Structures are given as C-alpha cells and as structure tokens.
Amino acid sequence: AQSVAQPEDQVNVAEGNPLTVKCTYSVSGNPYLFWYVQYPNRGLQFLLKYITGDNLVKGSYGFEAEFNKSQTSFHLKKPSALVSDSALYFCAVRAYTGFQKLVFGTGTRLLVSP
C-alpha cells in the first residue's frame, strides 16, 4: 500500500529565508511524486512532479523538490520565501505501474512572516 507522511503540521519562516517542507513516502516499486498547494478557500493546484531522471525537480512559483530514493523523501524547497507563499502544501504519491490512486499526505501549513 502507498502512503505519504508530512511530519510537520506547520512550518514558519521569515520572508527572504529558504524554506523546506518535508515529505517521506512508502510505495512498492518506483514512485511518481507530486506537490500541490492550496490557498485559502481554493482547490489544490499542481506545483511539480517527479517521474524519473534528475533528482532535483523544478516547478511553479520558484519551488523545487529533491527526490532521495535512499531516504524515501521528496522535500519541497524554495531558496527565498515570499509572504504570498503562505498556504497549505500537500505531498502525494502514486505507484508507477498500473492504475494506482494518488495518495495524499495530511498537509503542512506554511506561514511566511514579513
């Protein structure tokens, strides 16, 4: 069975500082990994995905994520946080083969202070 863990309910960072939102996963075989962002009273928006190849994936709004197979992690990063990055972030995983449902983590709230 697939699962995703987001160990932090909330991450606080000052504007201009680098940010990291953590995600670890469990899946049989090779994973497809995703990050989504949810702004207040909105649906989830796709940020980036890892399929295969380069372990550093770049996505929307200056975000990137690093895939680490040995640590089964897919942490979301940004070199310089903006106040407008404050939102709820979800990590998700799907197995590579066959139809497997996308499984979401419980979400991490990012608060960027001015």
Partner 1 sequence: NAGVTQTPKFRVLKTGQSMTLLCAQDMNHEYMYWYRQDPGMGLRLIHYSVGEGTTAKGEVPDGYNVSRLKKQNFLLGLESAAPSQTSVYFCASSYRPSGTQHTGELFFGEGSRLTVL
Binding site for partner 1 (CB under 8 A): 9, 32, 34, 36, 41-46, 49, 51-52, 90, 94, 99-102, 104-107
Among 110, 109, 108, 98, smallest CA distance to 2 is for 98
Nearer to partner 1, 45 or 113 (CB): 45
Nearer to partner 1, 41 or 70 (CB): 41
To partner 1, the closest distance from the beta carbon of 75 in angstroms equals 17
To partner 1, the closest distance from the beta carbon of 71 in angstroms equals 22
Q: Beta partners for 21? A: 76
To partner 1, the closest distance from the beta carbon of 59 in angstroms equals 11
- Specify whether the CB–CB gap between 43 and 111 falls below 8 A: no
Q: Could you identify the residue written with the tokens 């680490």?
A: 68
Nearer to partner 1, 43 or 114 (CB): 43
Give the type of residue at 109.
Answer: R
Q: Alpha-carbon distance 10 to 61, whole Å?
A: 20
